Amino acid sequence: MNLFFENVRLALFSLKANKMRALLTMLGIIIGISSVIAIMTVGNSLSSYMTGELSSLGTNNVYVSIAIRENEEETTEEGYSFVEENNQAHITADDLMTREMIENYADTYADNITAIGIQKNVGSGQIFEGTKSIGVDVKGVTLGYMLTDNKDLKAGRFFTGRETEGAKRVCIVSNKVVDKMFGGDDEAALGSIVQTQIETSFYDFTIVGIYNFEAGAGALASYMSMGNTTDMYIPFSTACEMNHSDYVAYFTVLAKPDVDPDAFADLTKQFFVPYYRNNRNVYIDSYSMASYVEMMSSMMGTLTTAISVIAGIALLVGGIGVMNIMLVSITERTREIGTRKALGAPNSSIRLQFIVEAVVICMIGGIIGILIGVGGGSLAAGLLLKSPANPSIASIFGSLLFSMAIGVFFGYYPANKAAKMDPIEALRYE
């Protein structure tokens, strides 16, 4: 044990004596470990963020949307193959789902469905009055949307049946709109008419409800690109009227709590098959929130693994660097090795000395790498997600152990070479 601490002391001394060399030697290890840790930290933060956000939208949600068909190779009379064709296919109005289809679907599975949320984008625009204005994304929604999207109203009410049937110009806005346009006074906002510009047209909407804006899963993108823009909801029928179409590209189903969302997603897919049998362009795809979350996590896992493998290669290169510098160090210290042997150091303790030195180099590199990795990863996670970083404790300890293992592995050969030196030649070495 005495000897062990003496070796650690010696290793630290020789690092201190050659600071620049030690740093360069460690660089490979530092880069390798810090990238592993940074990736793990970002990946961890991202997947816990996503899982949290996605499941806050409802784990019992089933998404139904138009999907472009995978192409079968098709040969025309001229013999050209048209594999590429459908990749550029546009989804036309004919491909979209009609309200009739969705009503049929809702009737068929009435026992399984709590709500259906349909959303139809009208466009992005601005609410303005005088010099004040705020951006909004105008979306036509059904009553079910509030349930499937987990939206609670802060004040006011949802659209009435009459408003929906009559395609009235009413809207539900976010608290941000109220803050900007009405100085945060909900009472003043409710019932007010706001002038809204959507592309080149102007519309007047009466505010009937206010919801609290929260940065949701989809909000990450809009937050980064649009700043203050929030959703403004209008009745679905109003949106249909404004768009001159009542087709639907996707909708969300909130399944009853006792329904297995995965199985129900399959049923849903099957339901729409007859409608699209003759459509070469598109089909209806359906998946559950649960499977979506699972897919995202496994994708993230694959990505993390792939990048870790690359970082592993950096570590390998770093390890070879350590081995190289240990060989140089041993050559430089040949006389010292000879002296130690003359003083009675057994081969095993010479070997230990240099292995400890390699391990100390790698461990210090590993610790620096972990600090940089956690710092960088947390910074990235914080900037990107505005959520607390989530460094993986297991990967930190794993990296530390791994870097030490690199030290043992790549230090063994040089150390063994030192241990086997002939003391007479070593003492004579100039």
Partner 1 sequence: MEERKKIIDLQDIIKKFYIGTPNELTVLHGIDLEVYEGEFVAVVGASGSGKSTLMNIIGSLDRPTSGKYELDGVDMIKAKDSELSGIRNQKIGFVFQTYNLIAKTNALKNVEMPMLYAGVHGKKRTERAKELLTLVGMEDRMKHLPEELSGGQKQRVAIARAMANNPAIILADEPTGALDSSTGRLVMDIFHKLHREQGKTIVLITHSPELAEETDRVITLRDGLVTSIRRGKGGAY
Which residues make up the interface to partner 1 (CB under 8 A)? 2-3, 6, 10, 13-14, 17, 335-336, 338-347, 349, 423-424, 427
Is residue 58 a contact partner of residue 254, using CB atoms and an 8 Å limit? yes
Sign of CA dihedral 252, 255, 261, 267: negative
Beta carbons within 8 Å of 251's beta carbon, 6+ residues apart = 64, 65, 97, 102, 116, 117, 118, 119
Nearer to partner 1 among residue 40 and residue 418 (C-beta): 418
**Distance of closest approach, residue 331 Cβ to partner 1, in angstroms:** 14
**CA distances (Å), origin 120, targets 34, 146, 241:** 45, 14, 11
CA distance 202 to 321: 68
> Which residue's CB is nearer to partner 1, number 185 or number 425?
425
Instruction: For partner 1, give the closer residue by CB, 312 or 423.
Output: 423
Rank residues 301 and 346 by Cβ distance to partner 1 and give the closer one.
346
| Minimum CB–partner distance for residue 333 and partner 1 (Å) | 8
| Nearer of residues 13 and 202 to partner 1, judged by Cβ | 13
> What residues pair up with 211 in beta bridges, in sequence order?
153, 174
Whole-number minimum distance, CB 19 to partner 1, in Å? 13
Instruction: Give φ, ψ of 396 to 5 degrees.
Output: -65, -50
Q: Measured between alpha carbons, how far apart are the two ends of the chain, in Å?
A: 32
- Smallest distance from the beta carbon of 353 to partner 1, in angstroms? 11
11 Cβ contact list (under 8 Å, min separation 6) = 353, 356, 357, 360, 361
Provide, rounded to whole angstroms, the least separation between the CB of residue 336 and partner 1: 6
Helix (H) / strand (E) element for 65: namely: strand 61-68
Looking at the Cβ atoms of 254 and 325, the one nearer to partner 1 is 325
Q: How far is the CB of 217 from partner 1 (least distance, A)?
A: 59
14 or 197: CB nearest partner 1 = 14
**Share in percent of the chain as helix, strand, coil (round to 5):** 60, 20, 20
Place of tokens 């109203």: 153
* Minimum distance from residue 352 beta carbon to partner 1 (Å): 11
